[in-house]
Amino acid sequence: MHKSTLLFISAISFVLSSSAIAESVWKQEVGNLRGIELGTNAYSVYKECPKKDKNTFSLSPYFSSIDSDYPPEFKDIPCYKVTENRLVVQGAKQLNIDNLMFIQGAGREAVVTLINDRVESIEVEFLNQHFEQIKIAMMEKYGNPSKKETLSFQNSFGQTFLAESLQWNGKSVMLLLDEHRSGDKDWGQIVMSSQTYLNKLNEWFLERKNSIKKGL
């Protein structure tokens, strides 16, 4: 499902131009996305997902039915699967949280990034055709965004298209809704991050920048 934070960062190179409205304070700051709470110990809250029969045919979670395909004892119980994604934040881990409440276009999964086993970032991908419904639902739950932008992207075929990006900027949480993930015309993304994660990501940017300077 997820291509790691590197894709999120790489989106910067696709942006050609942007227009934005004035930024405001996020008054309804919330640290919960898809029922997952920032700061929780993932291994205490979630059990590992049971292994599925390798002979069982399973559709992509984005097109599957609303019914869970785990055993009855796991009905409506979120569980985790270990990922092999490469992360830029040193010491961080990543898990797929599966068996969440079904959302049309976003399936049952989310990806969480852990620092010291605690959830510090939550990421959800969704089929772009559901963007308007998801945007309305997010504004009802989280309030008006702090910032709205219209970005212009160019894909690998040289085609340009516009994309809406909404940000909720709080004191300890940042929430991002992108109509197009990394310039991908078919997929959008939601990212909720704690200040702890953002600080670690900023440290990585500075280290990378200094490393490039030293090598020049």
- Please state, in angstroms and rounded to a whole number, the distance separating the CA atoms of residues 97 and 29: 23
Question: What is the pLDDT at residue 4?
Answer: 44
16, pLDDT greater than 50: no
Q: Residues 84-105: pLDDT tens digits?
A: 888 888 889 999 999 999 999 9
Where does 102-141 show beta strands of DSSP type E? 110-115, 118-127
pLDDT bracket for residue 112 (50, 70, 90): very high
- Residue indicated by tokens 């990006």: 165
Question: What is the pLDDT at residue 10?
Answer: 37
Q: Please enumerate in sequence order all residues whose Cβ is within 8 A of that of 139, keeping only pairs 6 or more positions apart, or say none.
A: 145
Question: What is the pLDDT at residue 182?
Answer: 74
pLDDT bracket for residue 54 (50, 70, 90): low
Q: Residues 132-180: pLDDT tens digits?
A: 999 999 999 999 999 999 888 777 777 787 889 999 999 999 999 999 8
Question: What is the pLDDT at residue 62?
Answer: 45
Question: What is the pLDDT at residue 20?
Answer: 47
Question: What is the pLDDT at residue 212?
Answer: 87
- Please state, in angstroms and rounded to a whole number, the distance separating the CA atoms of residues 191 and 175: 6
- 61-75, 147-161, 176-190: lowest mean pLDDT where? 61-75
Domain spans in the chain, listed from the N-terminal domain onward: 5-24+31-52+59-215
189, pLDDT greater than 70: yes
